[in-house]
Structures are given as C-alpha cells and as structure tokens.
Structure 1
Amino acid sequence: VTNLDREHLDHYGSMERINESFLEFINKIPFYGVAVLCADDDRLASLFPHVVKRYYTYGLRERDGVVPDFLATDIVLKQWGADFRAHFRGKNLGPFRLTVPGIHNVSNALVAIAIGTEMDVPVDLIRKGLAAFTGVERRFHLRGDAGGIMVVDDY
C-alpha cells in the first residue's frame, strides 16, 4: 500500500471509512502473505499499530526515530533515473540504479526489493531487474530529442 488519500471519497464517504477499509483489507492477508506498507505516508503510518498481519514498511526517511524495514539512502536523482542504496533492517543491500525518473520510483523500487526479498530472490537479480526496467508505455515515455527539445508522452 503506497498511501491513503482522498481518492474514492465519493464511494467511502469519509477518510475514517477509507482508513477502516484499508485496515480491513490489510488484516485479511492470509498467514503465508505479507503486506508492504509505505512509512512515508502519515495516514497509512497511523494504521500500523492496528495491523495484526505480518508486514514490512518501506520509506525514504526515518520517522520519529523509527527506521522503515526497507530504507533508501544516498539517493541521487538524475534526469532519466536514480541511484540509491537500499537497506533491510539495517543491513546494507548495496547500490541500485534505476532508469526511470523521479523520487516516487525510488520508493516503488523499495517495494520491488521488499517483495523480492520476501520471495528469496537473490539481491543481485533484484538489482539487475530494477536496472533493466524502463517503465511502462506512455508513462513519461521519451519519444524523441531534437535540437535540445525533448518530446515526452505522459498520458
């Protein structure tokens, strides 16, 4: 779960009901599953004490002295990607490189690292997979560059 926001307020009627629904969803995870929850989202983090199922947190920063299970540090954002170091419960997993832009993609990469780790995928394979990922069609897709002008398709 990446965040809890006001989307679908028309359906749920209130933020309280949205929070309850997400908590109910998370707490229905089967015994063999695990939730991966963003520690950077204040609303979502407020639900952590009420989660009864197994979960990992991920994030880009410490929060009130609490370090997320999966943490990105030494983040360097580039025009078409990012470099960062990933950590799992204090263990340095090493450097990672993304070829998709934006700090949100560093956060998304932490989710992939968490899921891969949970499924016992070797860290080197996770690293290679993330480095090879070029994004999805029509989401900040570079179509061309001519005379210093970039044409980007981002529906």
Structure 2
Amino acid sequence: MNYWLMKSEPEVYGITHLQQDRQTIWDGVRNYQARNFLRQMQPGDLAFFYHSNTNPPGIVGLMLVVKTDIADPTQFDSSSEYYDPKSTPENPRWQTVLVEFVESFSQPISLTILKEKFSSEDLLVVKQGNRLSVMPVADVVAQKILTMKNL
C-alpha cells in the first residue's frame, strides 16, 4: 500500500462533499507530474485529503483509492474548464482515480503544524511554492501523520 496527499479547495470539493458522496473521481488534474502520480496509484492505497486555498490549509481526512486508470471525463467535455481538445477517447491524455471516503479528522492538521514536523524533503506539501495537487507521501511520514490526527 502506498500513501498520497491530494489537494482540493473546500469550496470546490471538500471532505464534507466526499463524506456525503461516499465516492468520487478525482477529476480536473491538469499538471503532468500530478497526472503521473495518479497513474502510479493502486487500489487500496490511502490518500490524505488536503484543503488548500483556505484558512488554515491542512490535512482534513483520509480516503481510499478504489479504482485506477480512469480516463478523466472532463477532458472530453467542451463546456468544461478542464477540456483538452488534443485528448480523444481513443488516446486520453488525462487519467484519474476513484476515491472513497474513509474518515474526517476531528481537527485538521494545519500546514503550519506540518511545517513544524516535516522538512520539504519529507513532505512535498510543505515546500514553498509547491502547487502540485497530487503527491506521494513516504510510509514513515504517513504513519506519523496518522498518529497526529488524534492529538
């Protein structure tokens, strides 16, 4: 099992949305490095749900990767802000995953706390200027985050 961190703005799609929906595809990722991380995910992997562009930003819950290698449907929708005219159903450029709600943390683990506990080499989200919406989390770091959720 691998661990990941996936960012979303709570007003766009937050942990409460996922809790209500139970499952969702993680669509709209349009960064090649983040897409490549999505391609590496496997069913059974766990992902930390991170609220970005909010005050304070931080990890707010946990989700399970249920299905992988899904063509992101927004790339084919000409009315979507994520439409990609170079992408075709026969040769999609953007893949995504299906995730399922696992839990919402009683208290968010803020970016400030994450910066106190981890270096940018340990956890990419604390690196200044990092704008990736999907990133891997090392097992040892993930285990530490999981113990922090109960503090």
TM-score, with structure 1 as normaliser: 0.25
State the structure with bigger RCO (CA 8 A, min sep 6), 1 or 2: 2
